Chain A
């Protein structure tokens, strides 16, 4: 691709643990991507608004508080309501394995749990872009 991939990295919900989100943001940057970092405490509505205005290829979200089953699908649905179907949506954080099928079914393309290497995330993004 002759243009940089644009990724929105966001922390939905109220938890303040952004070590993972920041490490990922940096790795994506080092892989040549443009990372729009929105910081803590983003509502699903804010994330969707930012994703649309920034016209990103990827929306990557991280939650460690356990609110993922509520917040991740909400972002997917809001994007759908806006007619967006060409963004790759990823989730990460402390997420029990049992929840992953539900999240995938809800439209989260991949879920990355603790211990995932940043290289895997970069590779997944590069290989699964929807546009």
Chain B
């Protein structure tokens, strides 16, 4: 039986193998994905982001258990950083979810960022689609931190959950820039710690500054460790889902996401094309040298490369 049939029959191994192949840019896997793409779109995708140590994995674990109570099939893609020095990675998110592993209706996959130009979002996107076709009702994408690449990844989700912890101090300032806008639901984890209320107020104040829309992001205090108010948080996530669905916004969000995805893929492919050509025959090195020696300028160098590409095609 081939991978495609096995995947449709619900084989976890086939699902896992396809994700590996997608991650490795394997043509066969991409062809299968092309062929089965029409079957995707049923899963609801939730992106989870937040600073390191905010308890995202534990929260994902608890949210998944909550969804399982309702009989839902859940996929989890957990992303950890790849070391820029060795290209290796320690992927340790499963440790927080070890009792989920045996559930036949849960699939957990750890991925390294592998540091390629935007490649991460493509792999994540591919893994999510495989899990979607595999039949997951809900898929969590859990990222490692709050940088730009994480923003790109969670942007592909239908709902974005931002996890905070009390007493972030200056960190909150850093997070505000860029990521506050993309969150649909805020969770303040470890809310038994002092300062949870203060953090809640700070987030609310920030939200007050935003342009008024008919959806106001809820800020929920939870404690994943003590399994407290996870049901409330899930309810708020599902409220956002309902809001999107009832106001015909889900399609809007998905069109936006798909546009970003397609553009990202084009950008990546083009980039690869350009770099392959530019590196060929030491062109880029030679140009860089000329720019340094003031024999040419960066703008002309850029034109030279572009010309090479456009002429070539």
Contacts and interface: CB of A to CB of B under 8 A. Distances in A.
Q: Do A and B come from one complex?
A: yes
Interface residues of B, number: 31
Nearest to B94: A38
Contact of A54 (B83, B85, B102, B110): B110
A39 B95 contact: yes
Contact of A35 (B88, B95, B109): B88
Contacts, number: 88
B86 A32 contact: yes
Contacts of B95: 37-39
A82 interface: yes
B102 A4 contact: no
A32 B16 CA distance: 21
A82 B12 CA distance: 10
B88 A33 contact: yes
Contacts of A82: 13
A45 B100 CA distance: 11
**Chain A interface mostly helix, strand, loop or mixed?**
mixed
Interface residues of A, number: 30
Interface string A25-50: 11011111111111100100110011
B194 to A, nearest CB: 29
Contacts of A19: none
A121 to B, nearest CB: 14
Nearest to A8: B94
B110 A4 contact: no
Contact of A4 (B88, B108, B109): B88
5 contacts: A4-B82, A4-B87, A32-B88, A35-B89, A39-B98
